[in-house]
Structures are given as C-alpha cells and as structure tokens.
Structure 1
Amino acid sequence: MNRRESTTMRRATRIGAALAGALMIAACGSPTEQATPTAEQQPAPAPAQIVSPDKLDVGGYPTTPRPALGVAGNAPAGIVAETQHMADFIVGPWDVDPDMVYPYLSSTYLITAPAALEQIGPATVAVAAEQRGMVGGFVSARQAPDKSILVNGVLRFPDPAAATAAAGEMSQAAAQQSIQGVTPTSTAIPGHADAVASTYPFTPHGTERPWAAVRSFTPRGPFVLMQMAQSIDVLDPAAAMVAKAIDLQGPLIDQFTPTPIDALADVALDPTGLLVRTIPAEAGTAPASKNAAYSPRGAVHFQSNPVGSATLFEDAGVTVVAMGEANVYEAKDAPSASLVANSFGKEVSVDGVSAADPVPALPGSRCLQFPKGFYCVASGDRYAIEVQADQLKDAHQQVAAQYVMLTAH
C-alpha cells in the first residue's frame, strides 16, 4: 500500500458510526470502497482567507473559548482523563498486522471502571480486576475480515504486586468460562514466559469454519497487558499475534507515567490548550472518549483507517486532536490543515454518499449527505474541522461556530 492509497482509505466506516452516535461502525462502507463520482469530482477546496465572524451563521453554538479547564478535581474525573491519556501509549492491532484496520465490536474502549471489561470478556474477568483494585485502562480492537482479530489493551493497577496477582487471576477467570461447550486450556505465548494465557476453539455464528482464540494477561510493572487474538483454522497465528503485541506494547507503556492514585484529582484536563477552543460535547451523554485531546498516535485509535490516518497526520504535521461536539486537528500550518480537511472529505465520498451544500460564506468547506445525516469539513488557519449532524443547517452552524472560535481569538 502506498501513501496515497492509505490516506484515501479511511473514513467511510467512521462517519456511518458518528451519525449513529458513536465513532466507529462498519455499515456505511469499508476502507477499500471507491468514491462516487458525484461527491468525488468536486474540486478540492483551497485554503481560504480568514472569514469575518459576522458573515457566518453560528446558531446557538459558542464562539469563544472556555476558561482554562484546570485539573479533574476528583478521582473519578481524573480516572477518565488518565485513561484518555493512555490512548497515546497503546499499540493498535494494525501495528501488529497492517491488514487489521476494520472495526471490531466497538473498536475502542476506555476502561474507567472494572465493569467495563464485561464488554470484551467474561464478567468473571471484570470481578477479578476489581478485586485487585484496577484503576483504569484503554483497549483497541480491529480485524482483518475472515482472517484474524486482535483486541489489545493495557490495564492499570495500584502497584506491581497487584498487577501480577491480577494477571493470574484474570486469566484463571477467563479459562473457567466455557465457550460453545468447550473449556479453555492453558497455552504458551512464544518468547513470553510471563504471559498467562488460555486458548479455545470456536465456530463463529453463520459459518462452519473453526477459529482458534487466545486470551493473554501479562504483568508489567503496575500494568497488565491484555490481548484477545483470534485466527482462522489454527492456533499458531493467534499466539504469534499476541507475542508481537506484547513485544510492541511493553516498551510503549513504559513511556507512560501514571499519576499517583492519591493525586488523580490533579490530572490536567487540557494540557495542550486546544480543548477549550473546541465546541464541547454535552456532558453526561457523550462517550468517555469525547471532550479530550489526543496525540496523533492516540487519535488514530478512533479513525476508520488508522494506517492511512497516521500517514496523513505525519504529512500534515498534526500535533494534537481535540474531540468534542466538533473534532479539531491542529496541523503545522494552514496548507497542511487544508490537506487534512480535503483528505477527510474525499475519503468519505463513497457509494451512497452525495454532495451537499457547503457551509454558507465559508470558502473551502465541504459537506456530504449520508443515508442518515450530514458530514462537513473545513479548515481555518492551521486547524482542520469536522462535524456531523442529523440536519445540514446544524452541521453548517457547528462548523461556522468552531471556525470562529479558532480564528477570531
């Protein structure tokens, strides 16, 4: 895959999900679908001069930055912020196998409480994690359809002793869970004697071809590296995926400095300063991944094609991505921000998508209509903006307000 191919593969699945209230879903397309002529043949927008705020309809959306967010203020809020920051230090399945870019289940999980582990494993695993005082974690999941699946994550515990105990107990809990009438058995992970793992065969619903699955838990300092890998037909590829994930994940999580548990209330909520300049998602209803700022590495976990996104972010010099009601990508300069916005617009121009009116009075903006909702992108100064909404006017107003907030202050 060359660079041009990889950056044009990314957003069809993501936008379908955004319009449904989550970031990732497979229903609207795949990374390899071709663009429809109607949307794709639009001329690529060029960077525009800054537009005066009085020319734009911002509706009821805010146009001025919020006051500095400061610190979490309490431990639960600190845990949410800490797990958001952990995304920057998590290996994506595509790092193990570049074919694994397709969504799997919810694709990303911010584990802000042990019970959240029930989304990706037996409830008994969540109970074992809770008993050892699990603090939080981040999990990333993808698949290569009809070939392999990898769920990779890191969970934090109070100290190395708790993590070591939790790894063994979580693995034991997983191994006691019968899968399609089969009890998992212990297995070894090549090159990782410290990994506690089990395996079981299963046949996905609607198919007759068997798969092999591996669940693995490896203590590393105060963390547990957690993987669930599945491969078609035989066990060895699944075990090899786990081994490579551990090889990559261990050194990466070593770079993360966890906040002391008694200081979680002091976790900074907006260390880059971009989040206060991003229209916030509604508190209490937004997913835990929202109202957060990520490094490019962390942000790619939320992209439909993380391989292409990583290339695009590198080319554009993206340094931070803020995710709120709108998403804002800070690039190295105005032309680079325009590159990001243009690439996003092209990548969602797939079958079933048609061109919609651009944001009024905002040259360079682009909007698209999906079966359920609208998607718009624009750039202003060194920032790229993307939004989604059920109604086109609402999408226009979100972009306009976000544009004003970024360029008028």
Structure 2
Amino acid sequence: MRFGMGWNAVRIASAMVAVALGASACGSEQPVAAAALPPEPVIDLSTLDVGNHPTAPREYGTVKNMQQAKIIEAERMANFIPLTSEIDPRFKFGHKVSLNSRVFFDPKHSNLGDAIKLDKFAEVAPDFVTGFASGGTTDQEIQGIDLMNVVMVFPDEQKAAEMAVALELSDRSYNDQNVPVEIPKYPAAKAHWVPTTQSIGSWFATGKLVIYSWVYDYLRIAAEVVDQNELLTLVQKSLDVVVPAMAKFTPTPVDQLMNLQMDIDGVLGRTLPRIDEELNTNPPGVYTGLAGLHFSASPGTSRPEWEAAGVDRYAQDQARVYRARDRAAALRLFEQQAQLNKTVRSAAAPKNLPQAKCWEYVGKDKWVIRFYCAVSYDRYTALVSSQQLLDAQQRISAQYALLTTAK
C-alpha cells in the first residue's frame, strides 16, 4: 500500500465535474408538466457556429480492437458497481483520484498508483482483462475519509483467486511497514495495513472478479490516531454491498470480447466526439441507469435528481449527454446545470441558439475549467466545457445539431 497523494495532477478533472455537476441536486422541487411545455424551438442548423466539430450522428457497431473491447467490458461492469454513497451515505462526494481514471484496462497507464502499487501489476497479473474504479469521499477538501473499490476481471475463477493473493502480496511488499490483517467476515480476503497509519487495502476474489477495497482517513492520519476495528468494519461493510451486486454481472468470455457493441441505444453516437484529449482522462462510453454518477462530483446528492428525472442512459465523450424519462424531465436536468453564485456567473449563449445556457467560473482555483454550456432537446440534456467561451459555444452548438438530427 502506498501513502501520500499527488493531488494537483488530478484536480483539473475533479474540479471540472464539481462546477459542471455540483448543482445537480438543486433546482425547483416540482417537475415541469409535459402539457405545459412549449413546442421545441425551430433552429436553422445552418446558422449555427459549430467550428470544426462534427454534427452528424455516428454508428459504432462492434469493437474494432482488443483495447476497445476491454474498455467496453469495463463500462458494462460499471453498471453493476455500487456507488460508495450506497455503501455508506457519508461518502456522498466523488473521490478525486478515481474520478481521474475510472476505466482501468491497462495498469501501466492507470492513475490508480496512489492506492495500488502498480509497478509490477502486469508482471504479477498477466491475465488481467479489465477493471473499473468506484470511489467516494466524505469531504471535498481532502479532510475526511476516502473509500475506493476497484473491480477487476480475470479469465476464470481460479485465476481470480490466485491473483487476489499475488496482487496483495506484491502491493504489501512495496512497504516494509505493511502488516497482514484479516477481515473478520471475509477470511478469504487478503488485506494489510500499516499499524501507525489509518488506512487499509483488501483484495477479495469472487467468481471471475477481484475486488480491491481501499480506505484512507486523512483526519486520523494527520492526528496520528489509528483504529483498526474502524477500518475493518468499513471494508466489511463495503464488501457486504459490492459482492452481491457484482454477482449480477456476467463477465464476457475472453474469446467473445471482440463481439461487444460499443454503443447502447445510439446514445454515444449522438454525443459530441472529442477532437483532442484535453482533460478527457476516461475513454468515451455509454452507461445505463445511474452508473454515470460514478463520474459525478456529488453522487450522493445528485442521485435523487437523476432518479426523479428517470435518467436511463449517460454518455460521455467531448460532451456529457443524459437521456431522461421525457422532455419535461430533460428540461429539469438542463435547468439544474448552472446554479449561479459568487464563483459562477452567466456567459453569452451561442449565436442563433438562445435556448442554450453558458456560464463562467470566476473563482480562484486555477485548475477549474473556465467555461460551460448546456442545452436540452427532446429527452436529452447535454453539457460541454472549455477554457475558451467561443469553443464552448461551438461545442454546444454542434452537440445540439447532433441531438436534433439523430433518429
């Protein structure tokens, strides 16, 4: 287990999500009645400034290579992984490390190294297929407790059982202060901690999966206070929720991975594709139900709003697209995107797209993306961000065109 966090490298993506989605638990209490809605505005798409961004929906079909296959398999699995707020309501904020890289298909290029020692991961676990990290924290200012669950897929149950042992040993060997410890309700779990540090890592095999659970308590560590029972209780509580949830997920046989479909219901196809990587640390993907909350800065408080809106699909690429129950619910989500305050002020809407909204972050945090724009059409709400207002306006204009021309 490693200790110490290099936070600046991950704050940009985290802050972007915080500004863009942090207000999603606010807004009017009553949904807009469908009968009261005015008709969709008629927009001449030829008059929109879309820059170099595409405006035609895409059809993805099956994956094109094994890397794509592993990404899609990780995204499929994410639909079954519980949010940390479901494990314990205290963990209502998104965990910044795992927000930066939740899809975990190549250990050599993962940002999970602060929680797992990955230097020898490929060597120790050559049969690793893919994984997904779900994390949460009790405090956005890194003054609480972090909880992360990384679920990893292996070809079969024997490999998973072997890798839980091997990976824990490799991780434990990184620090000569690490001491093995047993999780009372899960004697098969392999875990360790440093007796002077309020943190623990646990590896548990279930079926073809290995669940890595990690707890890091900033306040107790700063106060030099340790409580092993508290750590064991939290890991056990986490496994009590995650293990039965993952039993509902059926991993794709390795020899069938290349048959996976990249899109669900064409939602990714109507999501603005990225033309550069910028801060898009997670690969493009589409998720079912509430799994998109894995990427939210405040999943615990956002969930009731998503449920009220009937969000059943979430896609992210250059834009974030939410499919709601109906047009009224989508408009409700749209209105919740920008809650103005002393650090967020209104910005100009795109030319010839007055129903879109844009806003600007004017706070002092240099890591936060400056401009955001959102728009709604039919059942869909979309959100984009950029460091330049014109670029954000062009992106949301192109995204609007995608939504209106998709079948």
- Give the number of equivalent residue pairs: 371
Residue type of the partner of 1:329? Y
Matched, 1:324 2:284: no
Aligned equivalents of 1:345, 1:19: Cα separation in 2: 20
Task: Tell me the secondary structure at the aligned position of residue 257 of structure 2.
Answer: helix
CA contact (8 A) 1:341 1:379 kept: yes
Give runs of aligned pairs for residues 211-360 of structure 1, distance below 5 A.
Answer: 211-231=197-217, 232=220, 233=225, 234-282=227-275, 287=280, 289-346=282-339, 349-360=340-351
Q: Measure how far apart 1:308 and its partner are.
A: 2.2
Aligned equivalents of 1:306, 1:334: Cα separation in 2: 23
Q: Measure how far apart 1:391 and its partner are.
A: 1.6
Aligned equivalents of 1:31, 1:277: Cα separation in 2: 24
User: Quick check: 315-324 or 82-91, which moved more?
Assistant: 82-91
Aligned equivalents of 2:254, 2:398: Cα separation in 1: 38
Aligned equivalents of 2:272, 2:17: Cα separation in 1: 27
Q: Measure how far apart 1:74 and its partner are.
A: 2.1
Task: Please give the per-residue CA displacement for 1:87-128, whole angstroms capped at 9, x wherever unaligned.
Answer: 112222222222223344422321112333535312356256
Q: Measure how far apart 1:337 and its partner are.
A: 0.6
What runs of 5+ residues in structure 2 fail to find an aligned partner?
1-7, 363-368
Matched, 1:184 2:178: yes
Task: Tell me the secondary structure at the aligned position of residue 90 of structure 2.
Answer: coil
CA contact (8 A) 1:19 1:374 kept: no
Match of 1:392 among 389, 393, 396: 389
Aligned equivalents of 2:77, 2:389: Cα separation in 1: 35
- Percent of matched pairs sharing the same residue: 27
Q: Measure how far apart 1:59 and its partner are.
A: 2.6
Give runs of aligned pairs for residues 1-400 of structure 1, distance below 5 A.
Answer: 20=12, 22-24=13-15, 49-52=40-43, 53-66=45-58, 68-108=59-99, 109-115=102-108, 116=110, 117-123=112-118, 126-127=121-122, 129-131=124-126, 133-145=127-139, 146-178=143-175, 183-202=177-196, 211-231=197-217, 232=220, 233=225, 234-282=227-275, 287=280, 289-346=282-339, 349-371=340-362, 372-400=369-397
Q: Measure how far apart 1:387 and its partner are.
A: 0.6
Residue type of the partner of 2:253? P
Aligned equivalents of 1:147, 1:241: Cα separation in 2: 14
Q: Measure how far apart 1:48 and its partner are.
A: 6.2
Aligned equivalents of 1:279, 1:27: Cα separation in 2: 21
CA contact (8 A) 2:21 2:298 kept: no
Residue type of the partner of 1:320? R
Residue type of the partner of 1:96? I
Residue type of the partner of 1:361? N
CA contact (8 A) 1:92 1:152 kept: no
Change over 3 Å in CA distance of 1:199–1:29 after alignment to 2: farther
CA contact (8 A) 2:319 2:399 kept: yes
Q: Measure how far apart 1:388 and its partner are.
A: 0.5
**TM-score normalised by L of structure 1:** 0.82
Residue type of the partner of 2:63? A
| Residue of structure 1 in register with 2:366 after alignment | none
Provide the aligned C-alpha RMSD in A: 3.1
Aligned equivalents of 2:63, 2:381: Cα separation in 1: 27
Task: Tell me the secondary structure at the aligned position of residue 337 of structure 2.
Answer: helix
Q: Measure how far apart 1:201 and its partner are.
A: 3.9
| Residue of structure 1 in register with 2:5 after alignment | none
Aligned equivalents of 1:323, 1:288: Cα separation in 2: 11
Change over 3 Å in CA distance of 1:185–1:135 after alignment to 2: same
